[in-house]
Amino acid sequence: MVTRAQSDSHLGSDIGRQLLSNARALFIVAGVLAAFGFVPGLPLSPFLALAAIMGVTGYLVRERQRATAVEMAVAMESEQDEASQSVDSVISMLQVDPLEVEVGYGLIPLVDEEHGGNLLNRITIMRRQIAMELGIVVPMIRIRDNLQLAANHYVVKLRGIEIGRGELVANEFLAMNSGLASEELEGTETVEPAFGLPARWIAAGQKQRAELLGYTVVDPPSVLITHLGELTRRHAPELLSRQDVQTLLNNLKQDYPAVVEELVPGVLTVGEVQGVLQMLLAEGVSIRDLVGIAETLADHGRQTKDIDALTEAVRGALARQLSMSHRAPDGRLHAITLHPRLEQMLAAALQQTDHGVALVVDPDLLQTLTSRIASRLERAAAAGHQPVLLTSSRIRRPLRRLTERALPTLPLLAYSEVAAEVDVEAVGMVEVEAHAAA
């Protein structure tokens, strides 16, 4: 009656629920009833029957409680798993892919292998080519569909930040005039995304005619792959992480353990090696000859920890590689040089800053210098040459930093970086008048 004071159900339900909620109490009742059966003067069979009923009831209640406990444990474990999966999903969302390509819904067939798309296979081939070319392992490139993009647009992202975008027409071809074609084609005018060249999207039926007229004709996947490859090469220094450098060193250690053990951590840290490799990649220098690079760093790393100085030392050791990579088909290295007076003036403008040695020159002189270099490059290109700019090793790196924004593709070599067996042909000289320098 006391327990019924706050109950909303009738008395019979409360009593039954309370009596059947404890298996131990039922077993005690069964034992008492069985004991009454053996008391002299009391009937044995009824008491034993009641004891058996209470014992079976207690057993069923206990099993039901055990099953309920198991179900609750499973439910709690399931909730914990769901919570863990939820946390894992949030953590995975926080991770940023090194490289990813987002495509509009109109370009999904280029990716879907069931519809004949081969973009994934071509990306794999591109990664291998860049690895052979630059000596780095290009990370996996994730492909996502983005319904917020226009149907035929794509975006390339580096660690979540857009670094390039373009537009493709899935069922047409991109035709670019290589300079040999004089007849115009019908199609939609556009710009080739990798190099910014004028181009046209033409129907598939015009492909053969365009090729006969001298146009360079490529399909949409090739346009995207070319653009993605150029962006990967351009941003290779940012893609090379410390973990990537450690992986390269671990692989090198399998065949050249003495070199790696001497270099890291005895002479340089992994971060310092990374800095040198990134500076090489920033100027398009392959780091495949990691043995030669590591040996040079081990030799010079005891004298200086300056990344610029170490990079220049490595470039000197890679002189043959640098010379051969810029050599023309005729076997010569076509070069533009600086007038000796200009060399001396730039050397006198060198100053030590917080970011290393830099050229501190007047903005007008910088503009004049870059325009003169660009003019010489145009003349050499008109003559069919792709020259390099030769300078002294002292000003090579500072001059590169000074001109890389205006002339990002200009290769600069020091005289010490030209191999002895390479013939050099001067195709121009850059000179700045004294009044312009003043």
pLDDT at 203: 93
Cβ-Cβ contacts under 8 Å for 312 (sequence gap 6 or more):
393, 396, 397, 414
Per-residue model confidence (pLDDT) at position 242: 94
Lookup: tokens for 260: 């790696």
Strands, sheet with 215-218, edge to edge from the N-terminal-most edge strand: 188-191, 198-203, 172-177, 215-218
Quote the pLDDT of residue 257: 94
Domain spanning 240-317, CATH architecture = Orthogonal Bundle (1.10)
In this predicted structure, what is the pLDDT of residue 13?
60
Residue 292: predicted pLDDT: 95
Are 289 and 318 spatial neighbours (Cβ–Cβ below 8 Å)? yes
- In this structure, what token pair is assigned to residue 311? 């990079």
Q: What is the pLDDT of residue 438?
A: 46
Distance (Å, rounded) from C-alpha 37 to C-alpha 28? 15
User: pLDDT at position 124, please?
Assistant: 92
* Residue written as token pair 């010569």: 332
> Where in the chain do CATH 3.40.50.12790 domains reside?
331-437
Distance, in Å, from the CA atom of 332 to the CA atom of 329, rounded to the nearest integer, reads 7
3-state secondary structure of 379: helix
Give residues with Cβ within 8 angstroms of 196, minimum separation 6: none
Alpha-carbon distances, residue 143 vs 95, 155, 294, 393 (angstroms):
15, 10, 35, 43
Q: Would you state the pLDDT for residue 34?
A: 73
Domain 100-235 indexed as CATH 3.30.1300.10? no
Half-sphere exposure of residue 153: CA atoms within 13 angstroms, side-chain side: 8
Give the integer Cα–Cα distance in Å for 136 and 11.
81
Q: Could you please report the per-residue DSSP string of 305-326?
A: --HHHHHHHHHHHTHHHHHHHT
Provide the residue-wise pLDDT of the chain in tens; the chain has 438 residues.
Answer: 445 455 555 555 655 556 666 667 777 777 777 776 677 777 777 767 777 777 777 777 777 777 777 777 777 777 776 656 655 555 555 678 899 999 999 999 888 877 778 889 999 999 999 999 999 989 999 999 998 999 999 999 999 999 999 999 988 999 998 777 778 889 999 999 999 999 999 999 999 999 988 899 999 999 999 999 999 999 999 999 999 999 999 999 999 999 999 999 889 999 999 999 999 999 999 999 999 999 999 999 999 999 999 999 999 999 999 999 999 988 899 999 999 999 999 999 999 887 778 888 888 888 999 999 999 999 998 888 899 999 999 999 999 988 888 888 889 999 999 998 999 999 999 998 754 544
The model carries a pTM of: 0.76
Task: State which fold the 331-437 domain adopts.
Answer: Rossmann fold (3.40.50)
Residues of the chain with CATH 3.40.30.60: 100-235
What pLDDT sits at residue 115?
A: 72
* Residue closest to 285 by CA, chosen among 297, 294, 293, 296: 293
